[in-house]
Structure 1
Amino acid sequence: MGTWDIGPFDNDTAADFSYRVDEAPAEKKAEVLGACFREVRASGDEDVDADVAVEAIASAALVAAQCPGGDPVTTAYGPKEPLPPLPAELRPEAVAALDRILTEPSELLELWEESDGEEWKAGIRKLRAVLTGA
């Protein structure tokens, strides 16, 4: 995975995921994001694949962008098309996925911990706080 920074879209997998979001019809975009959250949670107690985690984090950033206090996704690597208003039900799904990504076993967490990923973890916790309205 090509990663160049700690942001939700600062890696090749998330940039590629943006195309999938753009290609989805407006009425299906929320389903694309929700599917990412469900895939993370479906890992249960098994290792969360890094690419699956990256797509869920990118999805969480898109949901958080529509929450009070959320940062807009302005990177050139994010979706080019604006998202329609997303259902509030995606917020707790995103939180559950982020919590799982930050819990062992998680390949992405392990990769970031190898390179002192405290700043990355802080970014994930910030997304979580926006999603919960904290």
Structure 2
Amino acid sequence: MGTWDIGPFDNDTAADFADALDDATSEEREALIRGALTRTADATGWLAEGEEAVAAAALIAAQCPGGDPVDSPYGPDSPMPAFSDDLRTLADEALARVMSDEAGPASNWDCPEAWKQWRAGLNRLRTVLAPPSLSIPLFEIEQWQSVIRHRT
């Protein structure tokens, strides 16, 4: 059947990946997810596991602040372990690779509107996966500059 909708588990490959996660022990699940993300992020040429990486990224994003739960009937039924923090960055890198590959999962879309919705979903995942900004608000910088000027 291939791809039937825009969700991270709405294709045969991702649904099979969910089955593999369900068949794995709790301890093995993070390794399966890390493997799919690493192979995708490091891939050169054609992407073999882009759909799995999208599904894995969705599971990681679900554990992040602002993340949406994975409630697809094609997703894993088993609860996921709490994932290591470093998987957020790896998932973002894998999604960037998926989005840059015109011949990979992006080629599944015959309908331009569905393709736009799918990309918007990937962008949403990347936004959730992005680590929190460590920047200092501008007004605090201006306040500190004022304090420093008064002290000198």
Instruction: Provide TM-score, normalisation by structure 1.
Output: 0.90
> C-alpha separation between the residues in 2 aligned to 1:32 and 1:103?
23
In the TM superposition, what whole-angstrom CA distance separates every residue of 1:5-50 from its partner, at most 9, and x where no partner exists?
A: 1000111211111111111111121111010011112322x1213x
Superposition RMSD on alpha carbons, in Å? 1.5
1:72-87 equivalence runs, <5 A: 72-87=69-84
Equivalent of residue 119 in structure 1, options 117, 120, 145: 117
Question: Residue 106 of structure 1: CA displacement?
Answer: 3.8
Count residues with an aligned counterpart: 130
Which one has the largest radius of gyration? Answer: 2
Structure 2 partner of 1:55? 52
Runs in 1 of length 4+ with deviation above 4 angstroms?
none
Q: Which residue of 2 aligns with 1:24?
A: 24
Alignment map for 1:1-134 (pairs within 5 Å): 2-44=2-44, 46-49=45-48, 52-112=49-109, 114-116=110-112, 117-133=115-131
User: In structure 2, what is the Cα distance between the partners aligned to 1:4 and 1:86?
Assistant: 28
For 2:126, give the aligned amino acid.
R
Structure 2: tracts of 5 or more residues without a match? 133-152
The letter for the 1-side match of 2:66 is: G
Q: Unaligned stretches of 5+ in structure 1? A: none
Q: In percent, how many aligned pairs have the same letter?
A: 42
TM-score, scaled relative to structure 2: 0.80
CA contact (8 A) 2:3 2:108 kept: no
Q: CA–CA distance in 2 between the matches of 1:18 and 1:131?
A: 20
